[in-house]
Amino acid sequence: MNISSPKIKCLDNASMENFFSHFKAEWFNLYSFRTAEEVKNAVKKYIRFYNHRRFQEKLNNLSPYEYRTQAA
């Protein structure tokens, strides 16, 4: 039996590439981490910051959370 996954397009990963680019520039490169747990906690904190506090011009200078709740 041959199971194949769907063909991946370059745009499928664009959102994550954009997020990690910001993460590395704004967070990861500013700190030193000694353990994987510290990295995991930093990622969790950045995700919360990114979604709730980081404004984005493409969202009318709102955070993603503010933009989504405004639209609802």
What ranges do the domains of the chain cover? 33-72
Nearest to 47 by CA among 25, 12, 20, 17: 20
Q: In tens digits, what is the pLDDT along the chain, a chain of 72 residues?
A: 556 666 767 677 888 888 889 889 988 888 899 999 999 999 999 999 988 999 889 899 999 899 999 866
Tell me if the pTM is above 0.85.
no
DSSP state of 7: P
Q: Is 31 helix (H, G, I), strand (E, B) or coil?
A: coil
